[in-house]
Amino acid sequence: MQLRLLLPACVTALGVIGLLGLQERPGRMLDAKLHHLGNDATPDWKEAAREPEGTRLDVRFTSRANTGEWLIFVRQRSVDNTWRLKANGVEIALLRSGAELVERAYAVPKGAFKEGENVLSFEPDVPTDDVVLGEVRLVEQSLRELYHLQPLRFRVTDDHGAPLPARITLIAADGSRPPIYYAESATTAAREGVLYTANGEAACEVPAGTYTTFATRGPEWSLSQVALTTAAGATPLAEHVLRRELDTRGFVAADTHIHTLQFSGHGDASALERQVTLAGEGVELAIATDHNHNTDYGPFQREAGVTPFYTAVCGNEVTTEIGHFNAFPLDPREPVPPYKSLDIVTIVAGIRARGARVVILNHPRWPNHDDSPFGHHHLDHLLGRFDPPLELPVDATEMINATTEEQEPLLLFRDWFSLLNRGVRIFAVGSSDSHTVGEPVGQGRTYVTSASDDPAAIDVAAACDALKNGRTSISMGCFVTVAVDGRSAMGSSFERSSDSAPFEFDVRVQAPSWVRARRATVFVNGLAELVLDVRANEDGATDDMQHVSLPLASKNDAWIVVVVQGDGISTPAWPQVNPYTLAATNPMFVDRDGGGYSSPAAMAAAFAPKATDDSMRARLATLDATHALHFIAAWAAELRSNGIADPELRRRCAEVAGAHASHEAVAELLRRL
């Protein structure tokens, strides 16, 4: 069965193996053929048979006993799940995941081969996983011998000299990411060109050469760059110093969407490696969300020695045929939430019955705009309606998913804004959806209000309440907050019916020295009312506070969201899928009529049934374009229900629209009537 991956898989390194550049192909060929294994036809794989040959591969050969480490090279494609490499029935490695046809090398430990006949076996945990395997070569040398490896050491500290978990990136002189070998420990995680350390110290071996090394710790910290050259008989040391550049006091950095190969079945990060990457990226509230598995990070977190750096929460990405839902907190000892229903209301009810306080609809436009939860139900950007109808009894949806390609940064925001205008009280979250070591966990994140700034002492129940009530902002590279009278205002409601004075608040945009935030757009009921140029610090970190005095239409309730857009990340130290940086607040709700906040659609539904042409015309004259849009739509539906023919209906709606008729959204609605 060809499984559709959630994400492109990065190169993995389970064991002391990395991706190898193929300048020559040494060794003895044991099997020169490429084999299609699995259970489905694969017409696009031209290098192997269309039809599968079986579900496993056994290669028989004669050899002498290996008295030292040797290597097995194999060509492979589409390894999504767990494949075990065995020598004479004893497991020696797990195949590394990846979609492309590439050659990998795996270490054969001393004594794995015997004198005479041997069997090398490739065995899947999921026998229906379609893969290509073959061109198996045996090299009677170790990695060190074959590639002339040289040792390197790294040390990362803060500006007070304290050891710091971090991500270390290596770039060779030709711009490539080198294979990293012999970096395995409970406090490191390594892949091609990247090495995480949980305690500020790391060592590895790389092919001889000159390298540029970078150290980072997520977007709250600076970036350090050090060049070094390997030398025979020496172990160069790259010392990196990072300093905190963002002020996030009162907030903790959460990643609500995190995977492991161990429990999700694809990607490449083991559960232990995941803990190291979380510490290295400065994630402070880590929600484990493997597919249909209640994952408990606790034992792995303690083994890696990273309990001081973040609070871990057991969760689950409830993976169904109609969408994926992150749910937390859950009890790892309890059964997973049911996931076989085809009805979202039933699915979410089952999730909450298992104790989850927060339910998030993930990547609502994945895998593409049309083949997705919102696409299947044809979400209307004008009115926020679904066809066929769809209930969304969730608390939030992902506006940032750092490993899902979305070239248009505001596409998902248009979806969200249309739902807010219809009165669907759903909040935004940001996440990484990282499945691999190389994909930076926490690249997309949610900043959650917190009474404690101690990442090991976060009140999980309070954090869940903050997520459910929008007391959060979302981030991919930069950080934005809004405050009223000096207090965080995201998710808050404000009564402003006593006068027509502008609504006053402060916007604060922060970015580290290696990120450029460019503009902050203030959206009111989905309309871009104000664009602020971010006053970036070209020589360091940006911290820009701007006061906003926002006139609001008389007696129009309003929600207000600030979206920050910036340049893509230029450094190779923090690779991105999408070519921009982004941050956004959750809404502030402003009650202008004293009756409590009401959405544009709710206000329209209350007014339209009793409206005449004159009263509708007068009311529309006091409204912003978003309210006018919903009032006209509700009134048109009322007229139609009273038997008014379409030509007459269109004429009357166009007449009462007045100046709003020229607004793009209102004009589109009038064309539809």
pLDDT tens digits, one per residue of 229-278: 998 889 999 999 999 999 999 999 999 999 998 899 888 899 999 999 99
Residues 604-622 have a mean pLDDT of 94
CA distance 561 to 524: 7
CATH of the domain at 234: 2.60.40.10
Residue 83 in any domain: the answer is yes
Instruction: List, as one string, the DSSP characters of 171-199.
Output: EETTS-----BS--STTEEEETTEEEESS
CA distance 157 to 163: 4
Provide the H-helix boundaries in 398-512.
411-422, 460-468
Contact 304, 272 (CB under 8 A): yes
Question: Can you say how many angstroms the Cα of residue 323 is from the centroid of all Cα atoms in its chain?
Answer: 16
Tell me if the bond preceding 332 is cis, omega within 30° of 0: no
pLDDT at residue 673 is higher than 80: yes
End position of a domain, from candidates 178, 210, 242 = 242
Strand ranges, E, within 110-148 = 116-124, 131-139
Q: Does 46 share its domain with 84?
A: yes
Provide the H-helix boundaries in 369-493.
373-376, 411-422, 460-468
Q: Does 235 share its domain with 177?
A: yes
pLDDT tens digits, residue range 630-661? 999 999 999 999 999 999 999 999 999 999 99
pLDDT confidence of residue 267: 84
pLDDT confidence of residue 498: 75
pLDDT confidence of residue 21: 43
Provide the H-helix boundaries in 74-118.
none
Q: Which two tokens stand for residue 99?
A: 């979609």
Residue 96 in any domain: the answer is yes
Q: Does 35 share its domain with 130?
A: yes
pLDDT confidence of residue 185: 87
pLDDT tens digits, residue range 367-376? 999 999 999 9
Q: Does 136 share its domain with 179?
A: no
pLDDT confidence of residue 15: 35
Contact 518, 567 (CB under 8 A): yes
Q: Does 133 share its domain with 153?
A: no
Query: Please, what is the Cα angle at 146 between 140 and 149, to 5 degrees?
Result: 140
CA distance 183 to 219: 25
Q: What share of the chain is helix, strand, coil (3-state, %, to 5)?
A: 20, 35, 45
pLDDT at residue 533 is higher than 80: yes
Neighbouring CB atoms inside 10 A of 41's CB total 14
* Sheet order of strands, 210-216 included: 188-191, 194-197, 166-172, 210-216, 224-229
Q: Which two tokens stand for residue 467?
A: 């997520």
pLDDT confidence of residue 514: 98
pLDDT tens digits, residue range 542-564? 999 999 999 987 778 999 999 99
End position of a domain, from candidates 186, 221, 242 = 242
Residue 319 in any domain: the answer is no
Q: From residue 329, how far is each of 64, 203, 292, 461, 617 by CA, in Å?
A: 54, 36, 14, 9, 50
Residue 613 in any domain: the answer is yes
The residue range of the domain holding 199 is: 148-242
End position of a domain, from candidates 219, 242, 265 = 242
pLDDT confidence of residue 23: 46
pLDDT tens digits, residue range 76-123? 999 888 899 999 999 999 998 777 898 999 999 999 999 999 999 999
Residues 523-539 have a mean pLDDT of 96
Average pLDDT, the chain: 93
222: nearest Cα among 609, 540, 653, 444: 540
Per residue, the 3-state secondary structure of 570-610, as one string, reads: CCCCCCCCCCEEEEEECCEEEECCCCCCCCHHHHHHHHHHH
Q: Does 106 share its domain with 153?
A: no
Residue 343 in any domain: the answer is no
pLDDT confidence of residue 12: 32
List, in order, residues 6 or more apart from 322 with CB less than 8 Å away. Answer: 342, 343, 344, 347, 373, 376
CA distance 216 to 477: 12
pLDDT tens digits, residue range 330-356? 999 999 999 999 999 999 999 999 999
Question: Can you say how many angstroms the Cα of residue 279 is from the centroid of all Cα atoms in its chain?
Answer: 17
Q: Does 651 share its domain with 604?
A: yes
pLDDT tens digits, residue range 408-429? 999 999 999 999 999 999 999 9
Q: Does 34 share its domain with 126?
A: yes
Q: Does 131 share its domain with 224?
A: no
Which position has the token pair 């064309």? 671
Q: What is the DSSP secondary structure assignment for residue 222, as one 8-state letter?
A: -
Q: Which two tokens stand for residue 573?
A: 């130290």
Q: What is the DSSP secondary structure assignment for residue 389, as one 8-state letter?
A: -
CATH of the domain at 39: 2.60.120.260
Query: pTM score, two decimals?
Result: 0.90
pLDDT tens digits, residue range 35-61? 999 999 999 899 999 999 999 999 999
654: nearest Cα among 635, 626, 641: 635
Q: Does 656 share its domain with 621?
A: yes
How close are the terminal C-alpha atoms of the chain, in Å?
47
- Could you give the number of structural domains in the chain? 3
pLDDT tens digits, residue range 145-193? 998 999 999 999 999 999 999 999 999 999 999 999 999 888 999 999 9
Residue 635 in any domain: the answer is yes
* Sheet order of strands, 358-361 included: 316-320, 323-328, 358-361, 396-401, 427-431
Neighbouring CB atoms inside 10 A of 425's CB total 16
List, in order, residues 6 or more apart from 512 with CB less than 8 Å away. Answer: 219, 220, 221, 222, 223, 245, 246, 541
pLDDT tens digits, residue range 482-508? 999 999 999 999 999 877 789 999 999
- For strands 90-94 and 166-172, give the pairing: unpaired
pLDDT confidence of residue 19: 41
Kind and range of the H or E run holding 149: strand 149-158
Q: How large is the C-alpha radius of gyration of the chain?
A: 28
- For strands 188-191 and 116-124, give the pairing: unpaired
CA distance 406 to 476: 13
Residue 615 in any domain: the answer is yes
Q: Does 180 share its domain with 73?
A: no
Query: Please, what is the Cα angle at 642 between 636 and 646, to 5 degrees?
Result: 50
pLDDT confidence of residue 24: 62
pLDDT confidence of residue 612: 95
Which position has the token pair 């795996």? 106
Q: Which two tokens stand for residue 368?
A: 């593409």
Residue 608 in any domain: the answer is yes
Q: Does 127 share its domain with 204?
A: no
